[in-house]
């Protein structure tokens, strides 16, 4: 019986093929829109995550400021200064932090033969490579021995290397920083860089050797890797431990600044999730319009086939049989349209590839663009929405057909 009803449903669709095809195209357009909008939302979230990863997605920076509240006998406005003891303090109070690094910064004149430029010089501990997610194109990064022996070694940013060496080999060569000779041991991979940012013009030297360029008794800042740590507890621990060491109130937000990349990423994650929900809603409305078209053509089909329904009921067809026949017809149209829509979404995603986002504002930022990738998760969500719309659109005409009075249906002209 079910097979016969399916055969009748197929015959009915072939009877008015033009309307059937147009309805399928409407469903295909709707599901393609849902898939592409969801892919756009996923691509936007991925782009934001890639931007943060390029600068160190788990990095936490702690920088000294001035107190804004009176503490003990100290009035507000006291300058906080970090020393090596503060780095040791953080290592002790945050034993699960994989890396804690010191940093100091100074702009200096850098020379290689007749070429002379002013570049930012960063004195850093070797672990900054992992914290900032620094990649190298050539050579190696600074190591612990370089810092402990006060070795005069440096790693050049990609743009600094191009300006100083103009395409020639830099590894093993010497440059002069404020008149002091440093040997080049590595060249960095180009980083995402906005406008006049100095990220790729930076030169890294061992923190232990930075004292030949500037006084390093006071640190410019402290950096650590927060992977696997509770970020709320982390912020509280940092503030309380440094407050006890320097005599300021732990709730004084201006005494020290704590930059937590994961918190920033979480805030963008909320925006990304909201965008995904909005896009899914818009896609569902578009698919719902296709569903209304499906419902209309099914209602027309019920009207045109009223006498046929009466004959079927007179021959013993039950309500559920008629319901199954028309619902199966609606679901076949939905399924075929869905398949074509998914194929269309794949074709569009492959042809478009990526949409410009961060690369419009920054150099070397292709990873920060929106990549349209139709992931299995997206197909699962889109197919679920399609199934709901298909059932909802086919159920009303199917109920109407199933509830027709057989006597009135046989009299219908």
Q: What is the pLDDT of residues 215-269, one digit of tens each?
A: 989 999 999 988 777 777 888 889 989 988 888 888 888 888 999 888 888 888 8
96-100 own/partner pairs: CB under 8 Å, 24+ apart? 96/228, 96/229, 97/224, 97/225, 97/226, 97/229, 98/130, 98/225, 98/227, 99/127, 99/128, 99/130, 99/131, 99/223, 99/224, 99/225, 100/125, 100/127, 100/222, 100/223, 100/224
Backbone φ and ψ for 67, nearest 5 degrees, come out as -70, 145
Here the tokens at position 12 are: 């009915």
- What was the pLDDT predicted at 105? 93
Question: Which residues, including other chains, have CB under 8 Å from residue 275's CB and lie 6 or more apart?
Answer: 41, 44, 45
Query: What does the pLDDT read at residue 176?
Result: 94
pLDDT at 412: 56
Q: List the chain residues with pLDDT less than 50.
A: 1
Position 364 scores a pLDDT of 74
Dig out the tokens for 226 from the structure. Answer: 């927060």
Task: Give 80: exposed, middle or buried? Use CB within 10 Å, 0-12, 13-18, 19+.
Answer: buried
What is the Cα–Cα distance from 119 to 111, expressed in whole angstroms?
10
Residues 187 and 180: their CA atoms lie apart, in Å, by 19
Which distant-in-sequence residues (6+ apart) come within 8 Å of 233 by Cβ? none
pLDDT of residue 1: 47
| Residues in a beta bridge with 223 | 61, 101
CA distance 199 to 347: 38
State both tokens at 9.
Answer: 């449903």
Other C-beta atoms closer than 10 Å to the C-beta of 86 total: 23
pLDDT value for 289: 86
């Amino acid at each position: 019986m079910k097979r016969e009803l399916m055969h009748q449903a197929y015959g009915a669709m072939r009877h008015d093929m033009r309307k059937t095809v147009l309805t399928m195209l409407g469903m295909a357009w709707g599901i393609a829109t849902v898939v592409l909008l969801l892919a756009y939302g996923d691509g936007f979230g991925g782009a934001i995550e890639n931007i943060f990863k390029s600068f160190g997605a788990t990095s936490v920076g702690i920088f000294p400021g001035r107190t804004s509240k009176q503490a003990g006998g100290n009035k507000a406005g006291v300058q906080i200064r970090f020393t090596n003891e503060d780095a040791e303090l953080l290592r002790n109070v945050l034993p699960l932090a994989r890396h804690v690094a010191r940093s100091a910064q100074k702009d200096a004149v850098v020379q290689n033969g007749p070429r002379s430029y002013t570049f930012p010089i960063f004195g850093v501990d070797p672990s900054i490579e992992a914290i900032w997610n620094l990649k190298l194109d050539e050579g190696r990064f600074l190591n612990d021995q370089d810092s402990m022996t006060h070795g005069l070694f440096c790693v050049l940013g990609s743009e600094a290397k191009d300006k100083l060496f103009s395409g020639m080999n830099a590894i093993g060569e010497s440059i002069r920083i404020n008149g002091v000779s440093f040997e080049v041991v590595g060249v960095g991979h180009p980083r995402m860089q906005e406008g006049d940012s100095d990220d790729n013009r930076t030169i890294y030297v061992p923190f232990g050797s930075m004292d030949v360029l500037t006084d390093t008794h006071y640190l410019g800042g402290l950096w650590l890797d927060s992977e696997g740590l509770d970020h709320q507890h982390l912020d509280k621990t940092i503030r309380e431990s440094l407050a006890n060491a320097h005599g300021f109130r732990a709730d004084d937000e201006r005494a020290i600044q704590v930059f937590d990349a994961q918190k920033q990423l979480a805030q963008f994650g909320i925006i990304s999730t909201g965008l995904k929900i909005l896009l899914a809603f818009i896609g569902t409305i578009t698919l719902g319009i296709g569903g209304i078209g499906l419902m209309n053509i099914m209602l027309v089909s019920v009207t045109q086939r009223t006498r046929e329904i009466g004959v079927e009921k007179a021959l013993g067809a039950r309500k559920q049989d008629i319901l199954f026949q028309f619902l199966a017809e609606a679901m076949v149209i939905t399924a075929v349209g869905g398949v074509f829509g998914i194929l269309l979404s794949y074709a569009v995603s492959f042809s478009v590839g990526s949409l410009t986002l961060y690369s419009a504002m920054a150099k070397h930022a292709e990873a920060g663009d929106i990549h349209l990738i139709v992931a299995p998760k997206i197909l699962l969500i889109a197919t679920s929405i399609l199934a709901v719309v298909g059932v909802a659109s086919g159920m009303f005409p199917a109920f109407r057909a199933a509830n027709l009075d057989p006597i009135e249906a046989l009299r219908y002209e």
